[in-house]
C-alpha cells in the first residue's frame, strides 16, 4: 500500500482511485475520525484540486452509507458488523480488553473508544477487523457499570479539582470548583461519579467522604475498604437500633426450644476471635452411640427480615477480615455480644443434632431451635493440648470428637474431596498496627475437627431441603456450589506437570479429583510444589451462591449450603430463615428474588476477598520499608507480559521484577509455559523457579514492592 501511495505522490488521481485509497485508509483505522486534511497528509497530496476532489469523495462515500460524518468535515467508517455483548476483563492505560461469549479471541478497545469502562463492566461493542494482529472494537453502550465510586487524592488546578486514582483506573475524575476547598485539597477522598459523558476528557465526580491524610495508617486501611464499596463504620441510626436489643432471653422463647444448657458444650476458635458462630455439645447415649450437637448462633431471632439492621447486613453481606481489624457484617453489640456463643451465658441457636456411632456413621439427625450454655471457650491450641495430653477439661469429649472427625476427614478425601491445605501467613503487629514480624499459620487437628463438623452440618441442611422426595415440589434454597474445573485449564496444567513426571487423569469427575489429590500429595516438599500447587488452585472454578444446585466439586458433595456462620455471612442468615419457613410447612419463596441475593452476596464476597488481599499487600510494603537494598531468595509466583512476581521464602511478601529491569537480553512473555524467555539467550524464568532478588523500593500508597534480579 505504501509503495502505491509513493508512486502516485503529487500525480493526478481519478475519483475511483481516490475512493479506493480513502477506503483502505479508513479500514486500517476503523475507529478514527478523519478529515480531508488528515487524509491529504497520509496520501502526501499537495495539489489543491486533488484535495477538493478528496473532500467530494468523502461526502460521496457518506451519502452512499460507507462513511458517517461524525462532526462537520470529519468522517468515520461505518462497519456492517454485528454488535456483541462483552465483559471487560482487563483495564490498562491504553484501553480495555473484552471477553465475548462464543468468541475465542479477546477484543481490544482503545481508551478513546472505551466510554470509561472498567474491569467487570458489561458493554455493547462493535467489533472491527483485525489491526496489528488483534481484534479491535468500539464500545457503543455501557449495559452494566460495576463501579461508580473511586478513592484517590484530590489535586487542585486553577480552582478545579481532580481525583488522582490508583494505577488500576486509567482516568482521573474531574471535581467542579464549588467542591474544592482547603478541607479536601491534598486529602484522600471517596468520590461518586455523577456524569460519565464520554465526550468529555474525564468523568465528573462528587466528593462523598473525606477519608484522611495520605500515608496515615487508618486512611490507607479505610481507603482499601472504600475502594471495594465496603464501609468501615455503621450508620448511627443502625447502631442505635442494635443497642436497644434486650440481652435477656424471654422465658416464652425458652419454652419453645430444645434445652441443651445441661449438656457439656464448648466453642473452639482462633485466639483473637470475638464472634463465636458455632459451638459443639457432646453426650454419650445409652446405646453406646454419641449425640453431637452442632449449635449455630440464631441471628434470625434478633435480625428480622427487612428491618433496619437486616437492610444494613444485606448491603454489607459479609464481615471483612483485614490484617489489623475485622469490619463486621452486624453491629458489634450483636456480632461480639448478643449473638456470639460466649462461655457462661445462655444463647439461642439453630442446631443440627447427630446420633453418630464410633465408626463416624450418622445414625440419625434432627434440626432444632435450641438454647445452649457454653461451658468453655477453647482456642484451637488449647483444645489441641488437651487432645495431645489426653487430659484436661472436657478431655473425653474432645478425644471422641477428634476420633470421629479424623474418620470423617479420611472418608471425605477417599471419596473425592480435594485436599487444599496451604500455609497461611500472619503479621505480628505492634500497638500502632505496624508489622514487626511474620509467622506461618498451619492448620492443626482441632482446625480439621471443627471443619469436619461444620461441613457435615452444611451438607445435612442442604440435603434436607434440596433432596426432593416423591410427590414433593422443589423449594427455592441457597446453595454453595463449585463447578468442575475448566478442561482447557486442566489440559494446560497437565502439559506443565508432565515435564516433572506427573500426570492427571481427566477421563471422569471422580478420576480427576483422585488424581489431583495424588498430585498435591506427591509434590509436598518438592522444589516444584509451589508451581504445581499454584497452577492447580488457578485451574479451579470459584465457589458461588446460587439457587441452582449443581453440587460442590471441590468437596465432592451433591448438596452443600452455608448454614454455620450467620454472624458474618448474609447467605447463612437467609438459609436459617428459609429453613425455619420450610420445616414449619411454608410454601417455596420466589426464586428470582433469592437468586438476586445469591448473585449480590457472591460479588460482595469477592470484594471482601480483594480488600483482604490489598490489606496484606499494604502490610507487606510497610514491613519491607526498612529492608530496601537487602537481598532475599524467593519463588516466582506470577508471570505476566510486564514482569515476574516473586514471593520471598523468608516472609512470603510478594513484589514485582519489571521485565524492563532484567539485563542482558530482551525477554518475551510465553503464556503457555507461564514464563518469560530471553529472545537471544533462550534463558527462561518460569512460575515456581527459585530466584535471588534485591528490594529496590516500596510504595505504600500503591501497595507495591519492586524487586530487581541479582
Asked whether the beta carbons of 134 and 142 are under 8 A apart, the reply is no
Do 508 and 559 lie in one domain? The reply is yes
Query: Comparing 285 with 58, which gets the higher pLDDT?
Result: 285
Select from 566, 579, 289 the least CA-distant residue to 463: 579
Report percent pLDDT > 90 for the chain. 68
What is the pTM for the complete model shown? 0.85
SS3 of 552, please? strand
Q: Name the packing angle between helices 591-623 and 570-583 (round to 10°).
A: 150
Across the range 381-398, mean pLDDT stands at 97
Residue 662 lies in a domain: yes
Output the nine-digit C-alpha cell for 122. 458489561
Pairwise CA distance, residues 221 & 211, whole Å: 10
Residue 640 lies in a domain: yes
Residue 51 lies in a domain: yes
Q: What's the confidence (pLDDT) of residue 326?
A: 96
Of 589, 619, 649, the domain-final residue: 619
> b/e string for 415-434 if b means 16 or more Cβ within 10 A?
ebbbeeeeeebebeeeeeee
Which of the four pLDDT bands, split at 50, 70 and 90, describes residue 6?
very low
Q: CATH no. for residue 208?
A: 2.40.50.700
CA atoms within 13 A on the CB side of 434: 9
Do 47 and 6 lie in one domain? The reply is yes
3-state helix, strand, coil in the chain (%, to 5): 35, 30, 35
667 membership: H or E segment, kind and range: strand 667-670
Domain span at 57: 2-77
Mean pLDDT (the chain) is 91
Pairwise CA distance, residues 18 & 133, whole Å: 27
* Beta carbons within 8 Å of 412's beta carbon, 6+ residues apart: 452, 455, 555, 556
Of 214, 236, 267, the domain-final residue: 214
Report the helix count and the strand count for the chain, using DSSP H and E: 18, 33
Pairwise CA distance, residues 545 & 602, whole Å: 6
Do 507 and 526 lie in one domain? The reply is yes
Pairwise CA distance, residues 87 & 101, whole Å: 9
Which residue's entry shows cell 483482604? 612
Residue 333 lies in a domain: no
pLDDT by residue (tens digit) across 190-212? 999 999 988 888 999 999 999 99
Beta-ladder partners of 284: 290
Asked whether the beta carbons of 478 and 598 are under 8 A apart, the reply is yes
Of 62, 77, 92, the domain-final residue: 77
CA atoms within 13 A on the CB side of 239: 6
Asked whether the beta carbons of 319 and 328 are under 8 A apart, the reply is yes
What is the number of other CB atoms lying within 10 angstroms of the CB of residue 494?
Answer: 17
Least confident of 2-11, 38-47, 53-62, 593-602: 2-11
Residue 492 lies in a domain: yes
Which residue's entry shows cell 457435615? 456
CA distances from 514 to 41, 311, 418, 647 (A): 65, 43, 8, 29
Q: What's the confidence (pLDDT) of residue 93?
A: 80
Across the range 317-338, mean pLDDT stands at 97
Pairwise CA distance, residues 349 & 257, whole Å: 9
Output the nine-digit C-alpha cell for 642. 510486564
Residue 92 lies in a domain: yes
Q: What's the confidence (pLDDT) of residue 492?
A: 83
Do 498 and 632 lie in one domain? The reply is no
CA distances from 574 to 580, 594, 706 (A): 10, 9, 44
Count of domains forming the chain: 5
pLDDT by residue (tens digit) across 630-667? 999 998 988 988 999 999 988 989 999 999 999 999 99
> b/e string for 224-233 if b means 16 or more Cβ within 10 A?
bbbbbbbbbe
Pairwise CA distance, residues 86 & 106, whole Å: 9
Q: What's the confidence (pLDDT) of residue 13?
A: 75
Do 570 and 504 lie in one domain? The reply is yes
Asked whether the beta carbons of 561 and 510 are under 8 A apart, the reply is no
Do 535 and 601 lie in one domain? The reply is yes
Residue 445 lies in a domain: no
**Strand 675-678 and strand 667-670: pairing?**
antiparallel
* Beta carbons within 8 Å of 208's beta carbon, 6+ residues apart: 149, 189, 190, 191, 192
Residue 383 lies in a domain: no
Amino acid at each position: 500500500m505504501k509503495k502505491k501511495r509513493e508512486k502516485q505522490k503529487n500525480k493526478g488521481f481519478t475519483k475511483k482511485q481516490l475512493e479506493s485509497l480513502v477506503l483502505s485508509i479508513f479500514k486500517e483505522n476503523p475507529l478514527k475520525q478523519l478529515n480531508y486534511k488528515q487524509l491529504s497528509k497520509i496520501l502526501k497530496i499537495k495539489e489543491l484540486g486533488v484535495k477538493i476532489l478528496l473532500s467530494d469523495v468523502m461526502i460521496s462515500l457518506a451519502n452512499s452509507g460507507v462513511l458517517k460524518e461524525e462532526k462537520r468535515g470529519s468522517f468515520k467508517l461505518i462497519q456492517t458488523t454485528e454488535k456483541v455483548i462483552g465483559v471487560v476483563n482487563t483495564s490498562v492505560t491504553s484501553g480495555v480488553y473484552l471477553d465475548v461469549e462464543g468468541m475465542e479471541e479477546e477484543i481490544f478497545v482503545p481508551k478513546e473508544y472505551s466510554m470509561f469502562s472498567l474491569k467487570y463492566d458489561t458493554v455493547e461493542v462493535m467489533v472491527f477487523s483485525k489491526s496489528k494482529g488483534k481484534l479491535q472494537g468500539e464500545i457503543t453502550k455501557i449495559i452494566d457499570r460495576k463501579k461508580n465510586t473511586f478513592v484517590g487524592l484530590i489535586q487542585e488546578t486553577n480552582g478545579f479539582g481532580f481525583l488522582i486514582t490508583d494505577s488500576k483506573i486509567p482516568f482521573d475524575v474531574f471535581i467542579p470548583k464549588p467542591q474544592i476547598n482547603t478541607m479536601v485539597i491534598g486529602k484522600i477522598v471517596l468520590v461518586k461519579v455523577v456524569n460519565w459523558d464520554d465526550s468529555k476528557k474525564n468523568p465528573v465526580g462528587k466528593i462523598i467522604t473525606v477519608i484522611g491524610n495520605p500515608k496515615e495508617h487508618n486512611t490507607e486501611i479505610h481507603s482499601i475498604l472504600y475502594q471495594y464499596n465496603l464501609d468501615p463504620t455503621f450508620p448511627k441510626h443502625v447502631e442505635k437500633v442494635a443497642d436497644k436489643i434486650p440481652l435477656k432471653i424471654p422465658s416464652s422463647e425458652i419454652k419453645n426450644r430444645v434445652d441443651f444448657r445441661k449438656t457439656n458444650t464448648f466453642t473452639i476458635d482462633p485466639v483473637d476471635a470475638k464472634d463465636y458462630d458455632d459451638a459443639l455439645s457432646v453426650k454419650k447415649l445409652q446405646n453406646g452411640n454419641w449425640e453431637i450437637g452442632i449449635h449455630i448462633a440464631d441471628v434470625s431471632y434478633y435480625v428480622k427480615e427487612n428491618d433496619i439492621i437486616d437492610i444494613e447486613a444485606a448491603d454489607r453481606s459479609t464481615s471483612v477480615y483485614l490484617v489489623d481489624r475485622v469490619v463486621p457484617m452486624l453491629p458489634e453489640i450483636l456480632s461480639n455480644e448478643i449473638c456470639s456463643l460466649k462461655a457462661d451465658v445462655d444463647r439461642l441457636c439453630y442446631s443440627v443434632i447427630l446420633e453418630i456411632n464410633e465408626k463416624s456413621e450418622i445414625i440419625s439427625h434432627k434440626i432444632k431451635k435450641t438454647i445452649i450454655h457454653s461451658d468453655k471457650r477453647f482456642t484451637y491450641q488449647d483444645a489441641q493440648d488437651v487432645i495431645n495430653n489426653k487430659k484436661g477439661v472436657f478431655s473425653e469429649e474432645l478425644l471422641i470428637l477428634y476420633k470421629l472427625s479424623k474418620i470423617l476427614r479420611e472418608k471425605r478425601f477417599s471419596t473425592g474431596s480435594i485436599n487444599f491445605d496451604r500455609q497461611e501467613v500472619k503479621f505480628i503487629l505492634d500497638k500502632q498496627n505496624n508489622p514487626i514480624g511474620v509467622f506461618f499459620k498451619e492448620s492443626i487437628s482441632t482446625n480439621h475437627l471443627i471443619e469436619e463438623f461444620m461441613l457435615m452440618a452444611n451438607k445435612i441442611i442442604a440435603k434436607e431441603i434440596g433432596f426432593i422426595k416423591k410427590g414433593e415440589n422443589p423449594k427455592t434454597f441457597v446453595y454453595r456450589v463449585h463447578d468442575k474445573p475448566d478442561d482447557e485449564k486442566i489440559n494446560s496444567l497437565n502439559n506443565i506437570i508432565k515435564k516433572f513426571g506427573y500426570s492427571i487423569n481427566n477421563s471422569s469427575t471422580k478420576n480427576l479429583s483422585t488424581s489431583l489429590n495424588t498430585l498435591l500429595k506427591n509434590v509436598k516438599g518438592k522444589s516444584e510444589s509451589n508451581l504445581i500447587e499454584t497452577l492447580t488452585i488457578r485451574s479451579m472454578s470459584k465457589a458461588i451462591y446460587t439457587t441452582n444446585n449443581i453440587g460442590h466439586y471441590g468437596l465432592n458433595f451433591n448438596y452443600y449450603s452455608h448454614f454455620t456462620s450467620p454472624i458474618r455471612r448474609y447467605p447463612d442468615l437467609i438459609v436459617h430463615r428459609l429453613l425455619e419457613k420450610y420445616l414449619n410447612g411454608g410454601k417455596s419463596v420466589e426464586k428470582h428474588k433469592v437468586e438476586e441475593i445469591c448473585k449480590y452476596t457472591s460479588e460482595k464476597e469477592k470484594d471482601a476477598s480483594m480488600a483482604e488481599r490489598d490489606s496484606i499487600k499494604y502490610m507487606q510494603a510497610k514491613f519491607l520499608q526498612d529492608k530496601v537494598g537487602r537481598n532475599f531468595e524467593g519463588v516466582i509466583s506470577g508471570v505476566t507480559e510486564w514482569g515476574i512476581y516473586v514471593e520471598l521464602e523468608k516472609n512470603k511478601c510478594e513484589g514485582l521484577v519489571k521485565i524492563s529491569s532484567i539485563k542482558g537480553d530482551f525477554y518475551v512473555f510465553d503464556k503457555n509455559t507461564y514464563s518469560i524467555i530471553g529472545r537471544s539467550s533462550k534463558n527462561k524464568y518460569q512460575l515456581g523457579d527459585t530466584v535471588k532478588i534485591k528490594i529496590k523500593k516500596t510504595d505504600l500508597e500503591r501497595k507495591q514492592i519492586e524487586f530487581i534480579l541479582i
